[in-house]
Amino acid sequence: MSAGGMYGSSTTRENPGLRGSGWGHRLSNALKTTVLLAGLTALLLLVGERLGGPQGLVIAGFFVIVMNFASYWFSDRIALAMHGAQPLEYAEAPWLHQMVERLAARAGMPKPKLYLLPTRTPNAFATGRNPEHAAVAVTAGIMDILDQRELEGVLAHELGHVKNRDTLIGTVAATLAGVISYAAQMLFWFGGSMLSRDDDEDGLGHMLGNLGVLLVAPIAATLLQLAVSRSREYGADATGAQLCGDPDALADALLKLERGAELMPYDRAPATSHLFIVNPLSGGAIMHLFSTHPPIPERVRRLREMGVRSGSRAWRSAWA
């Protein structure tokens, strides 16, 4: 049964208390953000230097400034436009807006804007530079496979990202990682001829250096994203479970979404895959090693443990 069909009342629950979303958590998040941005910036500057020498370094530095500025002010628009998301008006899904309003009130933050992605793949993501300029996007497919209880868990997870200030770094990381990959490709196609030396030996060494940067830069950018993205997902799971008061609801949703992504992978704008609640890309065992998301079984295990501690299974009767 779809979420829309199940939603009929304005059932409310007490705020479970948002542990783990305080000053210490934000300080940890800020530190991780700084490390990620510094690493991605250094990689981009390295690629720029290899591609164009001192002049390329200056151009890369300018590019970093422009990208960070654009990502800060327009991160929500960038991510939404990349996926063709359309605003979801209140009249189209009042039950969904009411659900987000209730969760946002529990989180003590403004209600984010709602968007719809025109794809049958079940998934969702949040974006925006802060809670005052945030947006949550859901796919058309997610409302076909989740019931109202499970969908609330997913939306609580996304609001957890907003509350934990994850959304800005996610979009900035996607932008810089995309630029690094593109610059590395330029280095491959043009670096050898553009930057060759008069001396054959020096030219060969330079070409080998370019090849090394070509191979290492995209992998290093991915690994830097992994270092932050995986911990961010665990944090948003915990915050979301506390927001909705039902960790098992989010755990049940993750299992359904994982299966849905396997059956209907979604590969539009792969650089933004880490924004989604589950990895939308298809891939085998090797791809899972480089996934920006922690394993679903481990996320479910942690949520189940939270559910046992909080006795959240008692909430199931509210949605029956």
Q: Which residues are designated catalytic?
A: 158
For the chain, give the longest Cα–Cα distance. 77
DSSP, collapsed to helix, strand or coil, labels residue 135 as strand
Cβ burial 70-80 (10 Å sphere, 16+ → b, else e): ebeebbbbbbb
- Give the Cα separation of 320 and 316 in Å (integer): 6
Of 293, 305, 297, 294, residue with least CA distance to 248: 305
Q: β-strand 124-128 against 86-87: which pairing, if any?
A: unpaired
Dist. CA 47–CA 45, nearest whole Å: 5
Cα dihedral 185→189→195→196 (10° resolution): 140
* Backbone torsions φ then ψ of 114, nearest 5 degrees: -110, 135
Nearest to 27 by CA among 140, 121, 164: 164
